[in-house]
């Protein structure tokens, strides 16, 4: 009789604790799931300042430009929509006229170029801010799921210890060998189950939407981007702005993501649709992966400021 009571008490108690260990302490983070990082209005770019496909025909007629500026500087001028302004400024400087009108006109042209570069700088800051916001949003949700998973593992581990301790106590106070064996076996099985469950990761997911996905164009690499300004997109797709000069910044990013196994191209495209689509159900590891890709992209965007600064220093002389 004592044997049956002890087993009947031990098993339901363990099941109750197991169910309790799986309960969540929070409801869905609805605020973090919403897309609040995207610009509140669409940006309209003047078609007159769209970068040229090829500036080499113009450089062939204006070789003096390459004596003062590097080819990368001239590409940056083209990307920012200030290439023709730079041509006009160069013509004025080559004429070497010292009359007041020429000096004023040169100053006006230089100021117009700086205005274009200033706008390019704000575009970099804007995209970097959006990437920063998106990475923080993913990080917050990942931490939320991590907390749930950590709590689950902690509770299951405690349950395994408690069950083992309870089994040891019951078997020690029981005088019947049959009861000791029965309780010992059942208790050990339950304790092992809790320990085993703690090893396996939780499949708890959370829905994250990103209709304006800054990672999508990087992965798909279209000719023109619908989310990036023409200035930034030109720099990202020009080999001259990448360190090795043999591939574009976008191609290097994609290769890095694949090499670091952030994106698996050998399996079905399910994860690719998640990362580079409009969103879906994310696991904690998926959110950490998205955060990492956003941070790497943000670093590449901000590094364009180095090229911008180099060109502006030459202009200011």
Please indicate, yes or no, if residue 79 is contained in any of the structural domains. Answer: yes
Residues in CB range of 205: below 8 A, 6 or more apart: 145, 281, 282, 283
Residue 179 pLDDT exceeds 90:
no
Q: Mean pLDDT over residues 198-211, rounded?
A: 76
- Mean pLDDT across the chain: 82
Predicted confidence (pLDDT) per residue in 152-165, tens digit: 666 666 666 676 66
Report the percentage of the chain scoring pLDDT > 90.
Answer: 52
In this structure, are residues 93 and 106 in contact, taking their beta carbons and an 8 Å threshold?
yes
* The pLDDT value given to residue 71: 95
Residue 59 pLDDT exceeds 90:
yes
Predicted confidence (pLDDT) per residue in 89-145, tens digit: 999 888 877 788 888 898 999 999 999 999 999 999 999 999 999 999 999 999 888
* The pLDDT value given to residue 289: 95
In this structure, are residues 164 and 191 in contact, taking their beta carbons and an 8 Å threshold?
yes
Question: Which of the pair, 198 or 167, is modelled with greater confidence?
Answer: 167
Domain that residue 56 falls in: 47-120
Please indicate, yes or no, if residue 199 is contained in any of the structural domains. Answer: no
Whole-angstrom distance, CA of residue 111 vs CA of residue 95: 19
Please indicate, yes or no, if residue 112 is contained in any of the structural domains. Answer: yes
Please indicate, yes or no, if residue 68 is contained in any of the structural domains. Answer: yes
Please indicate, yes or no, if residue 20 is contained in any of the structural domains. Answer: no
Please indicate, yes or no, if residue 308 is contained in any of the structural domains. Answer: no
Please indicate, yes or no, if residue 82 is contained in any of the structural domains. Answer: yes
Residue 6 pLDDT exceeds 50:
no
Residue 188 pLDDT exceeds 70:
no
Return the bridge partners of 209, or none. 279
Whole-angstrom distance, CA of residue 40 vs CA of residue 37: 9
Residue 216 pLDDT exceeds 90:
yes
Split into its structural domains, the chain has a count of 1
* The pLDDT value given to residue 108: 94
| Secondary structure letter of residue 281 according to DSSP | E
Q: Mean pLDDT over residues 177-189, rounded?
A: 63
Please indicate, yes or no, if residue 75 is contained in any of the structural domains. Answer: yes
CB-neighbour burial class of residue 48 (10 A; exposed 0-12, middle 13-18, buried 19+): exposed
* The pLDDT value given to residue 162: 72
Q: Is 211 helix (H, G, I), strand (E, B) or coil?
A: coil
* pLDDT confidence bin for 3, thresholds 50/70/90: very low
In this structure, are residues 315 and 112 in contact, taking their beta carbons and an 8 Å threshold?
no
Whole-angstrom distance, CA of residue 204 vs CA of residue 263: 21
Whole-angstrom distance, CA of residue 34 vs CA of residue 30: 6
């Amino acid at each position: 009789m004592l044997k049956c009571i002890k087993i009947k008490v031990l098993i339901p108690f363990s099941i109750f604790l197991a169910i309790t260990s799986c309960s969540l302490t929070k409801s869905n983070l609805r605020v973090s799931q919403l897309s609040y990082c995207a610009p509140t209005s669409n940006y309209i770019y003047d078609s007159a300042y769209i970068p040229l496909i090829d500036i080499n025909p113009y450089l062939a007629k204006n070789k003096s430009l390459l004596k003062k500026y590097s080819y990368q500087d001239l590409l940056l001028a083209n990307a920012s929509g200030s290439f023709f302004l730079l041509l006009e400024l160069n013509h004025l400087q080559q004429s070497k006229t010292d009359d007041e009108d020429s000096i004023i006109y040169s100053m006006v042209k230089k100021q117009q170029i700086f205005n274009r570069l200033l706008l390019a700088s704000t575009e970099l800051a804007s995209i970097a801010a959006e990437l920063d916001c998106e990475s923080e949003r993913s990080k917050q949700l990942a931490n939320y799921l991590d907390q749930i998973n950590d709590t689950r593992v902690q509770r299951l581990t405690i349950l395994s210890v408690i069950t083992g301790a309870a089994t040891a106590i019951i078997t020690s106070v029981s005088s019947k060998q049959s009861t000791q064996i029965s309780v010992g076996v059942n208790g050990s099985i339950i304790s092992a189950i809790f320990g085993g469950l703690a090893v396996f990761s939780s499949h708890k997911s959370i829905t994250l939407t990103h209709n304006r996905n800054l990672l999508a164009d990087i992965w798909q690499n279209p000719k023109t981007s619908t989310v990036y300004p023409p200035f930034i997109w030109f720099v990202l797709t020009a080999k001259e702005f990448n360190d090795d000069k043999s591939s574009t910044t976008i191609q290097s990013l994609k290769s890095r993501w694949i090499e670091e196994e952030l994106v698996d191209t050998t399996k079905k495209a399910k994860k690719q649709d998640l990362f580079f689509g409009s969103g879906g159900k994310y696991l904690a590891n998926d959110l950490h992966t998205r955060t990492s890709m956003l941070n790497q992209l943000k670093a590449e965007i901000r590094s364009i400021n180095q090229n911008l600064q180099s060109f502006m220093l030459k202009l200011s002389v």
